[in-house]
C-alpha cells in the first residue's frame, strides 16, 4: 500500500473569496477514516490530467449531515 496524504479535509462547496482573502467553507470541514483509489491512479506515469483520478472517501462520524445540507447529486435515498 502506498501513502499519499494524511492531512486531507473534505470541505463541500469550499471556495476562495476575493473579498475576504481566504478560503470560505460554507458547510464546515470534515476528516476522513479511509480513502480508496484505483490502481491505475497509483501506477500512472503521468500526473495531470490523470483519467483515473477517482477516489472513494469515507468521512468521520458526524459528517453524515453533509448530504442533508448539500444534497445527494440526484440520489433520492441513501444507499445502505
10-20: pLDDT as tens digits:
888 889 988 87
Give the dihedral of Cα atoms 38, 50, 3, 36; nearest 10 deg.
-30
The reply to whether 8 falls in a domain is no
Cα–chain-centroid distance for residue 15? 14
The reply to whether 48 falls in a domain is yes
30-56: pLDDT as tens digits:
888 888 888 887 777 766 777 777 888
Question: pTM here?
Answer: 0.58
For 60, the domain range is 15-70
Q: Label residue 75 by pLDDT band (50, 70, 90).
A: low
Residue 58 has pLDDT above 70, yes or no: yes
* DSSP codes joined into one string, 25-56: -TT--B-EEEEEE-HHHHT-S--SS-TT--EE
Average pLDDT, the chain: 78
**Domain count of the fold of the chain:** 1
Amino acid at each position: 500500500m502506498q501513502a499519499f496524504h494524511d492531512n486531507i479535509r473534505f470541505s463541500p462547496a469550499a471556495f476562495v473569496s476575493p473579498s475576504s482573502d481566504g478560503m470560505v467553507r460554507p458547510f464546515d470541514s470534515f476528516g476522513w477514516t479511509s480513502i480508496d483509489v484505483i490502481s491505475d491512479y497509483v501506477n500512472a506515469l503521468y500526473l495531470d490530467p490523470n483519467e483515473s483520478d477517482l477516489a472513494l472517501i469515507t468521512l468521520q462520524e458526524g459528517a453524515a449531515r453533509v448530504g442533508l445540507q448539500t444534497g445527494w447529486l440526484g440520489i433520492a435515498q441513501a444507499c445502505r
